[in-house]
Amino acid sequence: MPDIQIKNLGISFNGKRILTDVSMSIPHGETTCIMAPSGSGKTTLLNLLMGIYKPDNGSISGLENAKIAAVFQDDRLIESMDPVSNIHLVCRNQSRNTIIEEMKSIGLTDCFDQPVCELSGGMRRRVALLRAILSDWNVLLLDEPFQGLDDTSKKATVNKVLQWCHGKTVLMVTHDPDEAKLMQAQIISVKQGFKQ
């Protein structure tokens, strides 16, 4: 796959400019982190990359044949289903036993048959992350992926993400420099072009 090229991207909502002439290159096969303040348009940029929004101007290339997986700020899990079923719904190529073993590896134990609605925020976050990284993808978009995790859970989860993402294209957005360092990411600090 080629690098992802973003050129002069801009978008407004209800007359309010959110992104203005954003240009950058996201290298293929590497982890890149966009650092920008909260509320500056990072999530909007990911939504543009996924095609959820259409830009007012500019272009995105390099995603024409991409299989994109994403972790949103909200977990988007099916509340009445257990974690294993939530993951398997997206990751059909993974067996129940594999999913359970991967859950155990990031501290998700004794909740395999529990409805997601009964899980803590940190547990739900880890389920959402596993659902993304265990799916069939070649581009992974992460929106503040480790929010709500304590230090121990965060370390185990980051290690798991690094294991599954090695050699693949990952784009993470965050305002936390420590998380970018944990992900061993190339950091792009953005001010120009983003809403200030």
Mean pLDDT of 134-158: 94
Beta strand ranges found along the chain (DSSP E): 4-13, 16-26, 31-35, 57-61, 68-71, 139-143, 169-174, 186-189
pLDDT at 170 over 80: yes
Domain that holds residue 68: 4-78+137-189
In a domain, 122, yes or no: no
67: domain CATH number?
3.40.50.300
Mean pLDDT of 106-134: 96
In a domain, 110, yes or no: no
pLDDT-derived band of residue 192, with 50, 70 and 90 as boundaries? very low
Q: Which two tokens stand for residue 139?
A: 């581009």
Q: Which two tokens stand for residue 168?
A: 């693949």
pLDDT at 194 over 70: no
| Residues counted in the chain | 196
In a domain, 101, yes or no: no
In a domain, 9, yes or no: yes
**Predicted structure pTM score:** 0.92
Ramachandran angles phi, psi of 128, nearest 5°: -60, -40
pLDDT-derived band of residue 58, with 50, 70 and 90 as boundaries? very high
Residue 53's identity, in one-letter code, is Y
pLDDT at 91 over 60: yes
Provide the number of structural domains found in the chain.
1
What's the confidence (pLDDT) of residue 40? 84
pLDDT-derived band of residue 63, with 50, 70 and 90 as boundaries? very high
Mean pLDDT of the chain: 92
pLDDT at 196 over 80: no
pLDDT at 142 over 80: yes
* Contact predicate 173/42, CB 8 Å: yes
User: At 80, is the secondary structure helix, strand, or coil?
Assistant: coil
In tens, the pLDDT along 103-114 reads 999 999 999 999
In a domain, 37, yes or no: yes
In a domain, 24, yes or no: yes
Mean pLDDT of 71-90: 96
Give the C-alpha separation, 50 to 57, whole Å.
16
Residues of the chain with pLDDT > 70, as a percent, come to 97
pLDDT at 123 over 80: yes
